[in-house]
Amino acid sequence: MPLSRRDFLATSVSAAASLTLTERLHAATLARPALQRAGASRPCVVASENGLRGVRRAYDMIVRGEDTLDAAIAGVNIQELDPDDDSVGLGGLPNAAGVVQLDASCMHGPTKRAGAVACLEDIATPSLVAKAIMDYTDHVMLVGADARRFALDMGFVPQPLLTEKSRQHWLRWRARQNPTDFWLDHDDDVAIRFTTGTINMNAVDATGDISSVTTTSGMAYKIPGRVGDSPIIGAGQYCDNGVGAAGSTGRGEANIKVCGGFLTVEFMRQGLAPQAAALRTLERMIAMTETRLLDPRGRPRFDIQVYAVNRAGAHGAASMYGGAQYAVCDERGARLEPCAFLFPRAEMPASPMPVQRARGR
């Protein structure tokens, strides 16, 4: 039956359908024996560092018995709706044309369903649009103007996403692209804000049901229409209810080429702990990186983080370079923990990304 906008908005954050006993038994047969013998799972939520508030909200929802995907999306909604977070949602840094374009994807382990949206404009919560695609269509991904039209049809309310703070960052970046152009410098000697910011969140409950979500405004000042890893199922995030979930933040182009979310989950399926699986995925990314993005020692001129949790509730994360942290919430409460890493932060080479610091006069 057709679903009214009012009905959708009333149910967009409701619990997803539960599995039948037959489906649960089938999912259990896909898990490795070591994971099956673990018994009851330990509720746990992991996320990128900017998800510290979100993991607490998601964990509280999970222990109250709410669905893992609803909980994870509620967690990332905090950042999506925070105008002071310029890496996702409202206030996200715009593309080169000054337009905020958002990407997101989600997966629901119990039902094996997924949804994604890319190049979405004027809607602050792309994670919820991705879930609407999953819940109400036979598709997985919608993009661009048609994704926006779908969101409006489903009752989402459009709003300007470019805050004055983010607009000022964009003006500084634009003014300093070419010293001979006709744009006056916006400020003198100011660091230009440049980010590949994203939030990834993965959650497991006491029954071992798992979900994952990733949402982003993408690489700052990107070419209009650019799509990173966040909305790509298997890259920006991936979830297998019999094994675990994983996602990432950082340079999306590097992650797309190795299907990093999927690869990390597959390493856990083979028996690796979440942290070890994340490190192995990073090693694969380096092996697949073109020479122009490597220093003479073969180390990447970019950073990326991978986050993972298995169905037993064990968690871990890894970064190319030291100093990164990730958010986690379990029975010990919400906190930041250090990411494992391949190389010390001090050894990170200069980035090949577009100019990040204003030139002096």
Q: What is the set of active-site residues?
A: 198
- Per DSSP bridges, beta strands 244-250 and 304-310 are antiparallel
Count Cα atoms within 13 angstroms, Cβ side, for 299: 16
Rg, the chain, Cα only:
20
Q: What CA–CA distance (Å, rounded) separates 89 from 230? A: 13
Residue 71's CB: how many other CB atoms inside 10 A? 28
Give the list of residues 6+ apart from residue 161 with CB closer than 8 angstroms, or none: 89, 90, 91, 92, 100, 102, 121, 122, 124
Nearest to 94 by CA among 33, 160, 149: 160
Q: What CA–CA distance (Å, rounded) separates 361 from 342? A: 38
